[in-house]
Amino acid sequence: MTQSETWLLGPLEGYTDILMPVAHSLTQARRELVALQAKTSQVDFLAKPGGIGSIGFHVAHISGSLNRLFSYAKGNQLTQIQIDYLHSENDIAINTEKDKLFENALQRIDTCLDELRKTPVDQLTQTRDVGRSRLPSTVMGLFFHAAEHTTMHVGQVRTTLKLVTDSQTP
């Protein structure tokens, strides 16, 4: 029997009800990444079946996108380091050992969960500017997008791993 998804396990300590779905989503993504890390070899990590993004790219992107989205949620624009990371995610995936990138992503999720816990509810509807075009969002909108975007990339990691391992089966 498999373990229930985190949203079915009740409230997570330290999170307000309004942020609970975000906390559940990030916690679930973290749990799935831990399991996927154990199943992924270094060769699988770099494979690009059919030219799709490698597992390494998706894991690097999870770290970078969470960093960027939570920066916007704090009211900051991106630093040059964050912009450079964004433009280098493919190279980072190729040049960084699998376990190191997975650990970076897990640490980034932990950092985001901590920031989420510390965010006062009265800030959630505050407007935040996103990107060079300074598109409008809110703190809550950025948190929600961070959670769903992370979940989407975890799903892509899972799908890519299945494609890679299925293609290795005679």
CA distance 72 to 129: 7
pLDDT greater than 60 at residue 1: no
Q: Side-chain half-sphere of 24: how many Cα atoms within 13 Å?
A: 14
Mean pLDDT, residues 16-20 = 96
Instruction: Answer whether 0.85 is exceeded by the pTM.
Output: yes
pLDDT tens readout for residues 31-81: 999 999 999 999 999 999 999 999 999 999 999 999 999 999 999 999 999
Radius of gyration of the chain (CA): 17
146, 22 contact by CB (below 8 A): yes
Q: Tell me how crowded residue 31 is: count the other CB atoms within 10 A of its CB.
A: 16
Which of 35, 45, 33, 55 shows the shortest CA–CA distance to 112? 33
Q: What is the pLDDT of residues 131-166, one digit of tens each?
A: 999 999 999 999 999 999 999 999 999 999 999 988
Which residues, including other chains, have CB under 8 Å from residue 129's CB and lie 6 or more apart?
A: 72, 77, 135, 136, 137
So what's the pLDDT on residue 2? 63
Q: At what angle do helices 55-73 and 80-95 cross, to 10 degrees?
A: 160
Fold classification of 15-168 is Four Helix Bundle (Hemerythrin (Met), subunit A) (1.20.120)
